[in-house]
Amino acid sequence: MAFDTFKRYLIGQPFPTSRDVHERLDKIRALAVFASDPISSNAYATEAIMSVLVVLGSGGLALTWPLGLAVAALVLMVIFSYIQTILHYPDGGGAYTVAKDNLGTIPSLLAAAALLTDYVLTVSVSASAGVRAVTSAFPEALPYRVLLAIGAIALITWVNLRGVRESGTIFALPTYAFVGGGLLVIGLGLLRSLGWLGAAPLPSINRALESQVDLVGLAYAWLLLRAFAGGCTALTGIEAISNGVRAFKPPESRNAVITMVAMGGMAMSLFVGITYLATHLHVVPSHTESVLSQLTRLIAGRGTLYFWVQASTMLILFLAANTGYQDFPRLASFLARDGFLPRWMQNRGDRLVYSSGIVVLAVVSSIFVLVFQGDEIAMLPLYALGVMLSFSLSQAGMFRLMGRIAHLKLGEHLRTEVTEIHYERGVAWKRMLNAVGALITFLVFLVLVGTKFLEGAFIVVLAIPVLVGLFLEVNRHYDRVSLALRTKDLSVRDLTPVADVVLVPIADVHRGVLRALMYAKRLSSDVRAISVTTSPAMRARVERRWARFPEITDGVQLILLEYDFRDILTPLVDYIVDVNNREFPDQLVTVVIPEFVAVTLWERLLHNQTANTLRRLLHDLQDIVVIDVPYHILSTAEWRAGARRASLWEGPRPADDGEDGPDEASA
């Protein structure tokens, strides 16, 4: 009751199912909603490159710029591939759908596992990076970063459990504020570096770093690879639009493509601009202040613009975390629908959201924040891995699809399991680009595995096959259930017949037991009351009380089992199993459990949980039907209200003719 009120207060009144009309987004708001994840990557992507190169000293940091350009080229290729996906899967084509439609079950599960880990890390990384925007501005908040990050996750979880729709205009603000602030800083920085507005200030570089390394050949290449792999976090979130094509206003595909292009333009302007300036202003990554914060401070000072950028960074990162809350539960519900996750992950809660997926996501991402102490740069090696694998699988899927299109003639079309494809021109070069994209993202995936394995990537490398194994195991279970319950070719003769016997375990003879015996006598002519006695006194007592109610006990066999231990359920269950196996094999045997029920939890603690335990034991046996005949005991409050009346007609002392009260009702 109290819990229910609390839940109503926290989550709000339930929504009826019929209220579930999907609101469509115009391009302005769609951009804000879907692009928050890839655009927010700019808060850490450049830093991820630099934090590897920093071991080379200031000369090494200069390499950030060419590596950044390479990452930007990769982004363009991936965006092109996803535009193809949007056009061919107008109902939404995440990596899972595309891989399922073109590559088969295992690749689609690999993509799903990769994406699920990716979404979890989206939340952990974005929440941590958002908090970092705060602690960069206010270093005194640094000791509380873990607490703040988990608090942010809790807040986002709460908002999502309440089912706030993703279309609110307020959600658009942080994205545009961040893009605007970022571009302003970049523009200002470029102007100042060209000598306008006065020369750009030059930070003091720790020269000691230069002497520490002297790498050549392979080691040098390895370092560059690692830095490049780090920069690939800029790619995270690009797939979001392709998942949500149906959320756009018609013409959906066209609007989605336009939004995709705009998103790519914004994200890459920011990435290239930040990387260029960070390289040329000789910013050095630091544990206490983010590169973006340093850059802004160098260019604009700690004025209004600085706090504008830090605040909008925090907000867009929290918004990016929020996209994890859109994507994870949706993908989990797809997997549940296809029988690869528990079916209940499909159920929507009071507010029409997939509550279980939201809660799972919140818990797992909080664990990551805790383990990595809210350090998002340390989490990045795990992050990009899943993204790259899903990109690669998705593009490989598109490559297969393009291959099928290549066989079509003008005017022909065919249906795959998910979508409809038509003849189109220029398939050959599109297909080639998909192949290159699949290959490069797969290579980046391998580089990430190789370079970041010991830094934490092993967690994802292990988690993905474990998740796939889990999906398959869940699927096998549902196949089995389906087969066991199937009704095809079923005839009535196949159903287990009901044995003409009813067993009633009793410990004493009281009202509850008498009620159960009356119920049992209606069911069968062979009713047996079974009592386990642990002493001659107990035996005599049961027999004496039994004899007192001939009206009810006549025709019922009283079976007394003597037992010299205290776990009385053991002989009871043994007897029941014995009756089932020897007297009525392959028939349903009925057990009637008389149980008295106390109303409050506190009162339930006062009784042996004998009835519950017996029910649980019998539950594990095949072919045992359990009947609970309850007998309710009033609560103290109800009792007090009725006590006066009761004492008038029952006499002052409630003891039963001088004997002890009943032991336990059930067994």
DSSP 166: T
Distance CA 115, CA 334 (A): 13
DSSP 195: T
When the beta carbons of 417 and 564 are compared against a second copy, the nearer one is 564
CB of 390 to a second copy, least distance (A): 25
When the beta carbons of 91 and 562 are compared against a second copy, the nearer one is 562
Distance CA 13, CA 625 (A): 39
When the beta carbons of 81 and 553 are compared against a second copy, the nearer one is 553
Distance CA 154, CA 314 (A): 16
Burial of 497-515, coded b for 16+ CB within 10 Å and e otherwise, reads: eebebbbbbbbbbbebbbb
CB of 65 to a second copy, least distance (A): 51
CB of 144 to a second copy, least distance (A): 28
CB of 512 to a second copy, least distance (A): 6
When the beta carbons of 95 and 579 are compared against a second copy, the nearer one is 579
CB of 119 to a second copy, least distance (A): 21
When the beta carbons of 354 and 383 are compared against a second copy, the nearer one is 354
Distance CA 181, CA 424 (A): 42
Please count the CA atoms within 13 angstroms of the CA of 597 that sit on its side-chain side. Answer: 8
Distance CA 541, CA 132 (A): 74
Q: Helix, strand, coil shares of the chain as percentages rounded to 5?
A: 70, 10, 25
CB of 404 to a second copy, least distance (A): 25
CB 370 within 8 A of CB 150: yes
CB 341 within 8 A of CB 474: yes
Q: How far is C-alpha 89 from the chain's CA centre? A: 25
When the beta carbons of 302 and 337 are compared against a second copy, the nearer one is 337
Amino acid in the structure at residue 277:
L
Strands 413-415 and 420-422: antiparallel
Q: How far is C-alpha 171 from the chain's CA centre? A: 22
When the beta carbons of 10 and 646 are compared against a second copy, the nearer one is 646
Q: Which residues pair with 529 in a beta bridge?
A: 504, 558
Neighbours of 649 (CB within 10 A): 6
CB 483 within 8 A of CB 490: no
CB of 107 to a second copy, least distance (A): 21
CB of 109 to a second copy, least distance (A): 17
When the beta carbons of 71 and 353 are compared against a second copy, the nearer one is 353
> Angle, to 10 degrees, between the axis of helix 376-406 and the axis of helix 217-231?
80
**CB proximity list for 568: less than 8 A, separation 6 or greater:** 507, 532, 534, 610, 667
When the beta carbons of 535 and 557 are compared against a second copy, the nearer one is 535
CB of 334 to a second copy, least distance (A): 14
DSSP 42: G
When the beta carbons of 269 and 613 are compared against a second copy, the nearer one is 613
Q: Which tokens go with 109?
A: 């599960």
CB of 482 to a second copy, least distance (A): 3
For 58, counting Cβ atoms within 10 Å of its Cβ (0-12 exposed, 13-18 middle, 19+ buried), the class is: middle
Distance CA 497, CA 493 (A): 8
When the beta carbons of 11 and 191 are compared against a second copy, the nearer one is 11
CB of 608 to a second copy, least distance (A): 5
